[in-house]
Structure 1
Amino acid sequence: MSTAAWVANEAVEWSADARFAIYYAPSRASAWWRAGSEWLAGDAETGVAYTPPQPEALSRPLNELTHAPRRYGWHGTLVAPFRLADGVGAGHVLAESRRWAQTQQPFALQLEAATLGDFVALRPASAAGDLAIRELAANALRTLHPLRAAPTAQDLARRLAAPLTERQRALLVEWGYPYVFDEFRFHMTLSSSLDAADERAALVAWWQKRIPELGPLRVDGAALFVEPAPGAPFVLWQRLPFQTAGVEQQ
Structure 2
Amino acid sequence: MRYAIYYTPSMVDPLSVAAASWLGRNVYSGEAPETPMVAGFSRQELAFHTAVPRRYGFHGTIKAPFRLHPDTDEAALLKALMHFAGTMTPFEIPRMEIARLGEFFGLAPSVPCEQMNHLAASVVQAFDTFRAPLSDLEIERRNPDHLTAPQFSNLHRWGYPYVMDEFRFHMMLTGPIHPKLNTRFETALRDFFTPVLVDPLTISSLALFVEQEPGAPLRVHSQHPLGKLSAHRPVSGGVRTMAAAVSNGPHISESRATLAARRLQTSC
Relative distance call for 1:185 and 1:67 in structure 2 (3 A) is: same
> Does residue 233 of structure 1 match 2:217?
yes
Residues 1:19 and 1:190: Cα distance change in structure 2 (over 3 Å): same
User: Residues 164 and 97 from structure 1, CA distance in 2 versus in 1: closer, same or farther, beyond 3 angstroms?
Assistant: same
Q: How does 1:50-199 map to 2 (within 5 A)?
A: 50-58=33-41, 61-109=45-93, 110-127=95-112, 129=113, 131-159=114-142, 161-198=144-181
The aligned amino acid for 1:123 is: A
Give yes or no for contact 1:227–1:233 (8 Å, CA) kept in 2: yes
Normalized against structure 1, the TM-score is what?
0.85
RMSD of the TM alignment (CA)?
1.7
Q: Which moved more, 1:99-108 or 1:140-149?
A: 99-108
Q: Contact 2:18–2:193 (CA<8 Å) still a contact in 1?
A: no
What does residue range 192-211 of structure 1 map to in structure 2 within 5 Å? Answer: 192-198=175-181, 200-211=182-193
Greater fraction of residues in helix: 2
| Structure 1 residues 157 and 68: alpha-carbon distance in aligned structure 2, compared to 1, 3 A threshold | closer
What is the rounded CA distance, in whole Å, between the counterparts of 2:180 and 2:37 in structure 1? 17
CA shift at 1:205, angstroms?
Answer: 2.4
Q: Which has the higher strand share?
A: 1
Give unmatched runs, 5+ long, in structure 2: 238-268
1:183-223 CA distances to partner (integer Å, 9 max, x unpaired)? 0111100001111433x333322333455422221111010
> Is the counterpart of residue 23 in structure 1 residue 11 in structure 2?
no
- Cα 1:176–1:27 shift into 2, 3 Å: same
Structure 2 SS opposite 1:123 = strand
1:39 maps to 2:13:
no
Secondary structure of the 2:53 match is: helix
Output one character per residue of 1:133-169: Cα deviation in whole Å (capped at 9) or x when no partner: 1111111111111110011233234435340111111
**In structure 2, do the counterparts of structure 1 residues 92 and 193 end up closer, same or farther at CA, with 3 Å as the change threshold?**
same
Asked if structure 1 preserves the Cα contact closer than 8 Å seen for 2:144 and 2:152, the reply is: no
Q: If the length of structure 2 is used for normalisation, what is the TM-score?
A: 0.80
Equivalent residue pairs, number: 229
What are the Cα deviations for residues 37-95 of structure 1, in whole angstroms up to 9, with x where unaligned?
Answer: 11111112112220232321335631121000000011110000000001211111111
| Aligned-partner Cα distance in 1 for 2:45–2:25 | 15
**Is the Cα contact below 8 Å between 1:54 and 1:61 reproduced in 2?**
no
